[in-house]
């Protein structure tokens, strides 16, 4: 298997795993589950932000799997993860920052792998 094919396979595997993770993270927010309403409220965020973040996560998950739009998905999800990391740090939830930072690293990796290559 050539380098290009390996790169494609790794990119798709990471993209699918990230898409599943963001879909699973976003759906409860879009559905307005009580636990998420409580978390956002305790962080001082309005309920409308819960719907916005959930929608961005679900839409980002879908767009990660469409090559033409994957770059936009990566960019928007990076912003969401930076906000999540900030929220956990600002609210004294130090260890909780690990998950958004880990997702952030994987998003950057996918963005880097998907960047246009010179022939």
Q: Could you read off the pLDDT of 78-113 as tens digits, one per residue?
A: 999 999 999 999 999 989 999 999 999 999 999 999
* Contact by Cβ (8 Å): 55, 64: no
The domain spans of the chain are 3-114
Contact 40, 47 (CB under 8 A): yes
List pLDDT tens digits, range 32-80.
Answer: 999 999 999 999 999 999 999 999 999 999 999 999 999 999 999 999 9
For residue 115, is pLDDT > 90? no
pLDDT at 15 over 90: yes
Alpha-carbon gap, residue 60 to 6, rounded angstroms: 24
């Amino acid at each position: 298997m050539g380098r290009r094919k390996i790169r494609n396979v790794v990119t798709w595997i990471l993209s699918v795993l990230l898409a599943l993770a963001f879909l699973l993270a976003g759906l409860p927010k879009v559905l307005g589950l009580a636990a998420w309403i409580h978390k956002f409220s305790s962080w001082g965020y309005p309920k409308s932000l819960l719907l916005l973040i959930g929608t961005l996560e679900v839409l980002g998950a879908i767009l990660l799997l469409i090559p033409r739009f994957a770059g936009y998905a990566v960019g928007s999800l990076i912003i969401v993860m930076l906000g999540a990391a900030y929220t956990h740090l600002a609210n004294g939830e130090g260890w909780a920052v690990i998950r958004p930072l880990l997702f952030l690293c994987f998003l950057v990796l996918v963005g880097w792998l998907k960047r246009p290559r010179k022939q």
